[in-house]
Amino acid sequence: MSIIMGTAARNAACKAVLDLVDTPGPGRVEIYTAGGVTLLASIPLANPAFGPPAGGIANFVPVAAAIAVGTGLAAEYRVFGQAVGGTVLWIGTAGPAFTDMVITPANVVIGDSVAIVSWAHGAA
């Protein structure tokens, strides 16, 4: 049988992970092509990066778009916190729709303005 967490536990688990992004200051998210081959953009996150979790899910706090440093089709993102010094906290999918993080544009060219349209993090 799978472990099923109640809402309070899901919210606490979600907040614990998100606190790693915000401590001691704002983290960042990097957008990559498939397999992390090409870095497309690095976006500084707000502090806090996400709002309070509800039902085990927290939505990101909108931030300014970043200028693309690479060219390619966005496929994944990696989240970094300041305290972990370059360690990836988690990886998810990124693209124009039906992904963990929705961005625009998905087909990125150097110099484009890359923006996060929607993004949420959840604890199961």
Distance from first CA to last CA of the chain, Å, rounded? Answer: 14
pLDDT tens for each residue of 67-119: 999 999 999 999 998 765 678 999 999 999 999 999 999 999 999 999 999 99
Separation of alpha carbons 118 and 93, rounded Å: 12
Q: What pTM, to 2 d.p., does this model score?
A: 0.92
